[in-house]
Amino acid sequence: MRLVRFTGRLLLALTAVAALAVVFLALIVLTDGAGSGLAAWLTTLGVASAAALWRSRGRSRAAKLRLFGPVAVAAALTATVCVPTAPTTRQYPPDLPFVAVQHWTLDTGSRVAVYHYPPAGSGARHPIPLVYLNGGPVRGVSLLDHRFLQLLAGRGYDVYAYEQAGGGRSDLLPMEQYTISRSVRDLDAFIHRLGNGDVDVLGFSSGGVVLTRALADPSVATHLHRAIIAEPGPMDGPTSRITGNTGRPSARDLAPGMVGPRSTHIPRYAVAFGLMKLGLLTPDTGLIGQAEGDNAFTAADLGSDTASDYCARDAHRIPSEDTPRNFSFSPVASLRVQQTVMDSPSIAPQLGRSKTPTMLMIAECSPKVREQETTVLADDPAVQRTQYMPGVGHHLWNGLDDNNDRAAAVITAFLQDEPAPLPNYPTREEIPAFLSDHR
């Protein structure tokens, strides 16, 4: 009987702790994490203490301790959500040893980190600069991407890359300024800052979304000589709501789990990022600041997302895309930019008037929705060729086998208006068959 009573009291205490934790989380949502979560914590502690005091009237000291025990435990557990464990001011990655990092202040007010790879090698120099827009959307340029940019420079291209505001070594923006339209304006301002006239632009993943929307803006598109859209996400709100099939199987559920520390193993960031991903906290929540979130987030937090960028056959040889010192990703700003894409009206009418010669690159094992990717091809009459890249996933230039050389050959052939090394597939007419074949 003594064991039964002890078990019953323990279950009641655990239930009380769980209930208080739920109340705390509900208050976090209701207050949007005000005061680093302290508003929710103090309210929960005050209500719980008052309830315990009321119930303890006339009871023995032991009974009172039993009532206040769950309150103390719940207070200690929930307090971990309110205490920062990462620096609350932005800690930028150190400079890279192989390329100088420049900081340009654009006419939009964004201060971005810029990388320049002058043309190299013994071949012909190409007079038109090539600008690279990396994915993210608010993420630093990975070492894997840097190696590919060096390869393009080695083929005579004058390559520039910049990390979008808030990503990598670029300065942060106020949260409300992270929008897809701001990203397009920053691209326009960057091109003007180069001062070399027209440029070629390679946009990868969310960088491809920025480029697609730039093509739909005549004031920006007039400065684009050629455009390469590689593995784009949805370009606007209507496109983001299209469902369908993805490419061939990826390594998402096959690759070993990523190793290394995770911010999501820490209660504060698990709660903050989890509730934001569910849409229960706003990107500018008072629970964690933008800088703290950027400092806390690690490559391991991406989990299976990285594996989904590779083909199933490569599951056990996925390369290291970056180092912990260079990795930088802003989950909060990225969510904000993605939300502005989802909330935007259709750009199909504007894109339908595009005249910039464009190429679309699609990966065989892409995790992207095929119907969303081919919308660019269907709506942009200036797409001159599509290159379906066999044997690679979303990260087309992944350093495995000859994948970098194959991607570079496709890109350089288009930029030089030479015959494509791969068939032009799918064409606009082939889109229905391409989708039905689950390619």
Structural domain including 195 reads: 101-436
Question: Which tens digits make up the pLDDT trace of 247-282?
Answer: 999 999 899 888 888 998 999 999 999 999 899 999
Domain presence at residue 34: yes
Domain presence at residue 198: yes
Angle at 375 between CA 392 and CA 140, to 5 degrees: 50
Domain presence at residue 90: no
Q: In this structure, are 24 and 56 located in the same domain? A: yes
Q: What integer pLDDT is reported at residue 65 of this predicted model?
A: 62
Tokens of 261: 């520390």
The rounded Cα 357 to chain-centroid distance in angstroms is 27
Domain presence at residue 94: no
Q: In this structure, are 67 and 143 located in the same domain? A: no
Q: In this structure, are 321 and 413 located in the same domain? A: yes
d(CA 439, CA 434): 6
Question: Which tens digits make up the pLDDT trace of 80-121?
Answer: 999 999 999 999 999 999 999 999 999 999 999 999 999 997
The pLDDT mean for the chain works out to 93
Domain presence at residue 405: yes
Residue holding tokens 């897809």? 180
pTM: 0.92
Domain presence at residue 88: no
d(CA 353, CA 332): 34
Q: Mean pLDDT over residues 286-297, rounded?
A: 95
Q: In this structure, are 273 and 399 located in the same domain? A: yes
Among residues 125, 204, 219, 195, the alpha carbon closest in space to that of 161 is found at: 204
Helix, coil or strand: residue 274? helix
User: What is the total count of domains within the chain?
Assistant: 2
Q: Long-range pairs for 372-375 at CB < 8 Å and ≥24 separation?
A: 372/232, 372/233, 372/234, 372/235, 372/239, 372/240, 372/242, 372/244, 373/231, 373/232, 374/426, 374/431, 374/434, 374/435, 375/234, 375/235, 375/239, 375/242, 375/348
pLDDT at 10 over 80: no
Cβ-in-10-Å burial (0-12, 13-18, 19+) of 58 comes to exposed
Tokens of 423: 């068939």
d(CA 303, CA 159): 31
Q: In this structure, are 13 and 106 located in the same domain? A: no
Domain presence at residue 86: no
Domain presence at residue 335: yes
